[in-house]
Structure 1
Amino acid sequence: MEAITFRLAEIELAGLANFSLSAPIENNKPVLLFLHGWQDNAATFSTLWQRLDADFNLVAIDLPGHGLSQSRSEDNYYHFFDYIDDLHQVILQLPVKSVCLVGHSLGAIISSCYCAAYPEHVERLILIEGLAPVVEEPALAVQRLKQGLKSRQQYRKQRERRKARAMVSFDEALQLRANVNGLPTACLVSVVERATVERDGKWYWRHDHRLRCDSLYRMTLSQAQAIMSSIEVPIYSIVGSHGFPILRDNPQQKYGIKQFSQVVVAGGHHCHLEQPDVVSDCIQGFISPQRD
């Protein structure tokens, strides 16, 4: 995978690909576009790429404020819907008209919403430990708004201190991340390498701390159902046996999804890091037989 850059209208996004963006794709291999989760980066899929490289055209991005991508401007925050716009701008720069989207967690939700809005650009959805927009009851709208605004104010008070927070070594950063995710450090080396920067002998997280600000708004269940039930392409859900239980609670009926299948693999929310052989086999098995 080679480093690439997507120049969007307001921001530049870093990425990785095993094909050139500047020339037509001459092979007939499917194009898989990978979208990572919150406070992750493109390297979360690196062990999958090693197993899929021979059979697929692969491309991945760091979302704004993550990994090596630029942060949003100082007068902006990370609204969920803006990620869908970012994705659209990326897809329009690819040398193909449509892709298979592979999303983990937040990346899975972005993928679902994008597919609902632009079905002509998506062939299939592969959603790892993520599915539909996060929802809340309408009665919680004011509480959600207030909580989101308070989190922004808290960020403004603490941003200088947060920017200055350092770790003494890469190993410290790696262990911190492993503790948060409940994973062995060996699973996270590539992710943490892309998530950190070394300056003057100390290590710092690259991600924009505004990512931790709460949302001002969340959809209702009926809105999420309208989005998910409109998706025409096949959806393949890969979930961990110890991941989020709600993802295994009959989502096809809950959201009225037309074409849906699900597989449970051993592991938690980052099951693709814990079981790369199994998850890559699942992806290959889902896409290849349906390809002409």
Structure 2
Amino acid sequence: MHSELQEKSVRIDDRTIAYLELEASKTTAKTVVFIHGWMDNAASFLPLLSRIEQQRLNWRVIALDLSGHGHSSHKSEHHFYNFHDYIDDLHRILIKIQAVDVYLVGHSLGALIASCYSAAFPDKVSGLVQIEAHFPLAESADLGVERLRKGIESRERWRNKSLKPVPSKQDAIKMRMRATKLDAETVTPIVERDLHQIGGQWYWRHDGKLKCESVYRMTEQHAQEVMAAITVPHLIILGHRGYPYLRQAHWLSLLNHAQIVQVEGDHHCHLESPQEVVELILGLVNKN
């Protein structure tokens, strides 16, 4: 099914960033970079990659494992996962892999990373697709101190936790089914990329520090400034049953320059309506 899909990696300081790649026949080909959501990994895009592969397009297609996810390295014990550091990582990855004519396709957390990067570096991005996300997560400035306190406390709870095995692979699949509302067949590749065996027992690959709460969040004004700075062709894909706040008129009214499309599905609508989502991505990339 994925005969041309290759496992690759790139080094960033002391970390290895893993990714899946469909190579292009020409070095000048468009580069389409897929960035997954929180607690997912590159395998969450396999249904899209297989359909793109069938199209025999001359695209260089990359699906990343963000730091701490999938087959990528964890950060060292004393470093946590601040949102803005993901944007820095993306910048360095694109340089390392020598990406040209870059289109960013992100889901959830990946979509927020992609939008912030597109705002900061419009000269390095040819187009942006956000799936089940748009504005960076924002909250009132008067909640900043409470967030800082809760974030630090969550880190201390993590420090006092011990690594525990998953009872079985099937239990891991059921856990992710409950979290994502996806069926077993759809969620299994994501789970398999996030599991490994140590001493005959199953453990999650992802870094437990990912579950620590953020110590900082943008204000609504910050978030609006980010989105206002996006000048590249911009497509937002929302699931009919996805997060309701994403479809609130207040937010959608501020997205004057983006094309907004709803497809069947929940928060992982790209896995529930993969053909429609691929066609939408094709439309944006091939148009530009």
The CA distance in 1 between the partners of 2:274 and 2:117, in whole Å, is 26
Q: 1:231, 1:258 within 8 Å by CA — same for their partners in 2?
A: no
Secondary structure of 1:4's counterpart equals strand
Where does residue 283 of structure 1 map in the other structure? Answer: 281
Where does residue 84 of structure 2 map in the other structure? Answer: 81
Are 2:160 and 1:157 equivalent residues in the alignment?
yes
Q: Structure 1, unaligned stretches of length 5 or more?
A: none
Displacement of 1:27 in angstroms is 6.0
Displacement of 1:179 in angstroms is 1.4
Q: Structure 2, unaligned stretches of length 5 or more?
A: none
The CA distance in 2 between the partners of 1:27 and 1:89, in whole Å, is 19
Task: Kindly report which structure 2 residues correspond to 1:228-239, keeping only aligned pairs within 5 A, or say none.
Answer: 228-239=227-238
Where does residue 51 of structure 2 map in the other structure? Answer: 51
TM-score (norm 2): 0.93
Which of 5, 11, 22 in structure 2 is aligned with 1:7? 11
Which of 20, 23, 33 in structure 2 is aligned with 1:19? 23
The CA distance in 2 between the partners of 1:27 and 1:98, in whole Å, is 11
The CA distance in 1 between the partners of 2:29 and 2:52, in whole Å, is 11
Which of 143, 147, 151 in structure 2 is aligned with 1:144? 147
TM-score (norm 1): 0.92
Q: 2:127, 2:284 within 8 Å by CA — same for their partners in 1?
A: no
Displacement of 1:260 in angstroms is 0.6
Task: Kindly report which structure 2 residues correspond to 1:182-193, keeping only aligned pairs within 5 A, or say none.
Answer: 182-193=181-192
Displacement of 1:72 in angstroms is 0.5
Amino acid at match of 2:8: I
Task: Kindly report which structure 2 residues correspond to 1:86-97, keeping only aligned pairs within 5 A, or say none.
Answer: 86-97=89-100
Are 2:66 and 1:63 equivalent residues in the alignment?
yes
Which of 52-61 and 76-85 deviates more?
52-61
Where does residue 112 of structure 2 map in the other structure? Answer: 109
Where does residue 177 of structure 1 map in the other structure? Answer: 176
Q: 2:29, 2:101 within 8 Å by CA — same for their partners in 1?
A: no
Secondary structure of 1:188's counterpart equals helix
State the superposition RMSD in angstroms. 1.5
Task: Kindly report which structure 2 residues correspond to 1:196-235, keeping only aligned pairs within 5 A, or say none.
Answer: 196-235=195-234
Kindly provide the CA deviation profile for residues 7-27 of structure 1, in whole angstroms up to 9, marking residues without a partner as x. Answer: 11342101111127xxxx626
Displacement of 1:4 in angstroms is 0.7
Displacement of 1:248 in angstroms is 1.8
Displacement of 1:30 in angstroms is 2.4
Are 2:123 and 1:120 equivalent residues in the alignment?
yes
Q: Percent identity?
A: 39
The CA distance in 1 between the partners of 2:134 and 2:126, in whole Å, is 16
Kindly provide the CA deviation profile for residues 17-48 of structure 1, in whole angstroms up to 9, marking residues without a partner as x. Answer: 1127xxxx626642110100001001100010
Distance 1:183 1:96, change over 3 A: closer
Q: How many residues align?
A: 280
Secondary structure of 1:226's counterpart equals helix
